[in-house]
């Protein structure tokens, strides 16, 4: 069984970090994983994305055209990746940063105001964790529990003070009901 996730957003939104967190969780769960970032000559405020593949067997391509899931942290990411999600897949959209609805009706769309939720929890910087939580709550990929353990294990010492906040953000994302009204 193999699943692929593309995570995309502005540089600084923590896109690469939540990708790495997924990869670390996969590693801890004895899965095969690849994590590959876009590494073009990017500039501050530009776009960033990474592709994570989690599999039970040797991974072929680390590049994926039609991923099982996409986390779109902003509008340009939604525009770029909406059409690429595999039919039946999951698209997590950051409703706080996107001013249009999703057109696809053959995928599961999780539109979640991640920035607003993160702000409510104390810091907009954990919006990425809310988004990752929302993915975990809607796709059988890796368990929330395993991701929390990986966060604890692999987060650098200097960032351990954010551990509880991050866990909270993950949980809020995972518990988010898709039917909740979407804030524009």
Partner 1 sequence: MAKELIKGNTAVAEAALRAGLEAYFGYPITPQTELLEHLSARMPELGRPFVQAESELGAINMVYGAACTGKRVMTSSSSPGVSLMMEGLSYIAGTEIPAVLVDVVRGGPGLGNIAPAQGDYNQIVHGGGHGDYHMIVLAPASVQEAVDMTGLAFDLAEKYRYIVTILLDGSIGQMMEPAELPPMQPLKTDVPDWAVRGTNGGEKRVLTSINLDPPAQEVMNLRLMKRWQEIEQNEVRYKEYFLDDAEYVVVGFGTAGRIALSAVRAAREKGIKVGLLRPITVAPFPKDILEELTGKVKAFLVVEMNSGMMLEDVRLVVRGRKPVEFFGRMGGVVPFPDEILTEINQLVEGLLTTEGHPRDRWLARLEKTIG
| Residue ranges that bind partner 1, judged by CB under 8 A | 20, 23-24, 27, 32-37, 39-41, 58-66, 154
CB of 5 to partner 1, least distance (A): 14
Q: Which is nearer to partner 1, 87 or 181 (CB)?
A: 87
User: CB of 85 within 8 A of CB of 27?
Assistant: no
Question: CB of 48: closest distance to partner 1 in angstroms?
Answer: 13
Q: CB of 172: closest distance to partner 1 in angstroms?
A: 26
Nearer to partner 1, 35 or 176 (CB): 35
The nearer residue to partner 1, 40 or 181, going by C-beta atoms, is: 40
The residue (of 65 and 164) whose beta carbon lies closer to partner 1 is 65
CB of 63 to partner 1, least distance (A): 5
């Amino acid at each position: 069984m193999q699943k692929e996730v593309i995570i995309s957003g502005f540089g600084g939104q923590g896109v690469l970090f939540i990708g790495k967190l997924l990869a670390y969780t996969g590693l801890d769960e004895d899965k095969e994983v690849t994590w590959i970032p876009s590494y073009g000559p990017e500039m501050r405020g530009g776009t960033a994305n990474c592709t994570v593949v989690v599999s039970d067997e040797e991974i072929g391509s680390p590049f994926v055209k039609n991923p099982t899931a996409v986390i779109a942290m902003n509008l340009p990411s939604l525009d770029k990746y909406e059409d690429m999600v595999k039919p039946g897949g999951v698209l997590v959209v950051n409703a706080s940063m996107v001013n249009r609805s999703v057109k696809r009706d053959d995928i599961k769309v999780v539109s979640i105001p991640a920035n607003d939720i993160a702000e409510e929890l104390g810091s907009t910087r954990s919006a990425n964790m809310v988004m990752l939580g929302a993915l975990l709550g809607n796709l059988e990929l890796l368990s929330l529990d395993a991701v929390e353990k990986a966060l604890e294990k692999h987060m650098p010492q200097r960032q351990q003070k954010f551990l509880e906040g991050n866990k909270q953000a993950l949980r809020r994302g995972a518990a988010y009901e898709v039917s909740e009204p979407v804030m524009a």
